[in-house]
A and B are shown apart, each in its own frame.
Chain A
Amino acid sequence: MFLNKLTRRCMLAGVAVAATLGTAGLAAADAIKVAAIYTLPVEQQWISRIHKALNAADARGDIEYTFSENVANTDYERVMREYAEGGQKLIVGEVFGLERAARKVAADYGDTAFLMGSSFGPSGDNFSVFDNWIHEPSYLSGMVAGTATTSNLIGMVGGFAIPEVNRLMNAFMEGARATNPDVKFLVNFIDSWYDPPKAKESAFAMMDAGADIMYAERFGVSDAAVERGVKAIGNVIDTSADYPNTILSSAIWHMEPTIDRAIAAVAGGTFEAADYGQYSFMGYGGGSLVVDSALVSADAVAKVAQIEADIRGGLFRVNVNDARPVSDNK
């Protein structure tokens, strides 16, 4: 589609570099050139987390960040090659739609480091992978939902039933069952990453069926919850400010631990193909839980805090289940 090369930022950076060339020119030269390629715009929840971490690194002066958004999967390889040929040292992105092809491209550019969101493992010498492994906070948010539901029916609207979505939904369901063995789930997928009107319709249907907590995997679900005065659980980003009095708890993803490690490895010349997935775990600060203590009982908050401490201390491990979740039939 269309490329946003952050012209404004580049121009500003250019002006800044020119102005300080005599004195601090060296510092700018040390910044690693990093490019990101996203298949959706940077506002999308998942991508916004990566974008935020890279912007932070750019603001620190560690990297010189540029990106292309809304790149179609069919065009993705070309953009990867363009950035690699253009001398980018680290390329960050997501290859869920072109797993094999992206690994081939990486093999052609041995001097470039690739850090890609992927359902599979690292490859070659320079192709590392990451993903939003926030099943731990998802489990905890499930515990909150389990204690908060009174109808014992929780509605869940997902985008696509792919491993990274299923995993978080399954962890959430397990957490809810841990605090409330009677809880049942309604599960639906809209097969789109962004169609809020459609997500809202799914959510309305579930609330009509009696769901009193909505798991908001997609934009639109919390909106439907607000309209009906029902509570919701957030995922990946903290939307509690947008939906006051609605979001009980959210499982948040932090990409900084992953990005900062990759940047350090590239800077130190030690980058190699590795699975960065674990840096999204709570223990590394890659995942965290937000609970609105005004909406959740103190008892539940204490229970969740206990399990969170156990997770961080290595005493509790949240199961990983990538299977497509389905509704409990009554």
Chain B
Amino acid sequence: MMDILNIFLSDSFWAASLRIATPLIFGVLGALLCERAGVLNLGIEGIFVVGAMTGWMAVWLGANLWGGIIIAAMAGGLFGLFHAILTVIFGLSQHVSGLGITLFASSAASFTYRTALPQVSSPPRIEPFRALDIPILSDLPFIGPVLFQQTAMTWLALFLVAVVWWVMEKTALGVAIKAVGDNPEAVNAQGLSVVKLRMGSVIAGSALMALGGAFLTMSAFDAFFFGMVNGRGWICIALVIFASWQPGKALMGALLFGMFDALQVRLQTEAGAFIPGQVFLMAPYVLSIIALVIVARKADYPRALLTPWFKGQR
């Protein structure tokens, strides 16, 4: 018990939680934006892979790190556009289209990687984002290591939480996006374009998802490899329900998962001799399901989620 208490009191544990949570923050914000507009985007896992590959490759080819971020976001947006055309314009099944996007996007990313690098002995590396070292702030006890020794991408993720919250809660655009996910007919009656709002949300949301992938290859690590997204996209799909489609709670959910994972690593090391390691490895997922069950019972789904809208159809 003392050991667990010590873990919670250590700054490195909280720093790790925030680090692990960062890609999820991007992903869950992206999923939130899509779903608020009424479109489920199961392409998220593949879009993570695309973001991870394109961002890294842009830098590897000579772009600077922020250039890589922009390329990753654009690549993600492109797959978002594809998903939006299929689901918003053609009104096809959002589940099927999303899963198709995931399969297509991850394979396309792997194919591009291999075509560009047919003969490499180990994954080529880039110079990734380094932890910011802000004078004075980084040296503060506890807060310093947890908040001020993260990379710029973690700060970007936190900043984007605020941006998405502001857009959703304080702007007319946010009201329109939420309305289009609840009652597209009413939005249409207001003279707004349901199609444009939905497509824009899906594209922007997908761009955010791609940043989650880019974090893995440009900040958490410095190389791309097949399969390294490893289910992180799917976690975001669960987290967005946990968050009841609210940016603040989305941040909390991502942090909670990051905390569970940081805890599992430490507990496995401590108690691996008595309890099989797999128990710890699955713990974050099990705990997330439990949290989901508790919270999601009251979940207020966007009412028109999964429902395609066609002009003039009643």
Interchain CB contact (< 8 A) of A191 among B107, B118, B225, B278: B278
Most buried by B among A48, A209, A237: A209
Known contacts A4-B114, A191-B281: A327-B225 contact under CB 8 Å: no
Any A CB within 8 A of the CB of B223: yes
Any B CB within 8 A of the CB of A1: yes
Smallest CB separation, B141 vs chain A (Å): 16
Chain B residue contacts of A197, Cβ below 8 A = 20, 216, 220-221, 228
Any A CB within 8 A of the CB of B269: yes
Contact B269 A209 (CB under 8 A): yes
How many angstroms from the CA of A161 to the CA of B221 in the assembled complex? Answer: 23
Contact B273 A326 (CB under 8 A): yes
Smallest CB separation, B122 vs chain A (Å): 5
Residue of A nearest to B103 (CB): A1
A87-139, CB < 8 A from B: none
* A interface size (C-beta, 8 A): 43
A31-85, CB < 8 A from B: 40-41, 43, 45, 48, 52, 70
Contact B122 A48 (CB under 8 A): yes
B251-267, CB < 8 A from A: 261-262, 265-266
Contact A205 B220 (CB under 8 A): no
Chain B residue contacts of A41, Cβ below 8 A = 114, 225-226
Contact B221 A8 (CB under 8 A): no
Give the dominant DSSP class at A's interface.
loop
Q: CB within 8 Å of A: which residues of B?
A: 10, 12-13, 16, 19-20, 107, 110-111, 114, 118, 120-123, 125, 216, 220-223, 225-228, 230, 261-262, 265-266, 268-270, 272-273, 277-278, 281
- Extra contacts, 20 of them, besides A188-B268, A189-B268, A237-B122 (Cβ < 8 A), are A2-B110, A2-B114, A6-B118, A40-B226, A43-B122, A190-B281, A194-B228, A195-B228, A195-B230, A196-B223, A196-B225, A196-B228, A200-B220, A204-B12, A205-B16, A219-B223, A223-B221, A242-B122, A326-B273, A327-B272
Q: Can you sample 17 A-B contacts with CB below 8 Å?
A: A1-B110, A2-B107, A41-B226, A52-B121, A70-B226, A188-B265, A189-B277, A190-B281, A191-B277, A192-B230, A201-B19, A201-B261, A205-B16, A206-B269, A219-B123, A219-B223, A327-B269
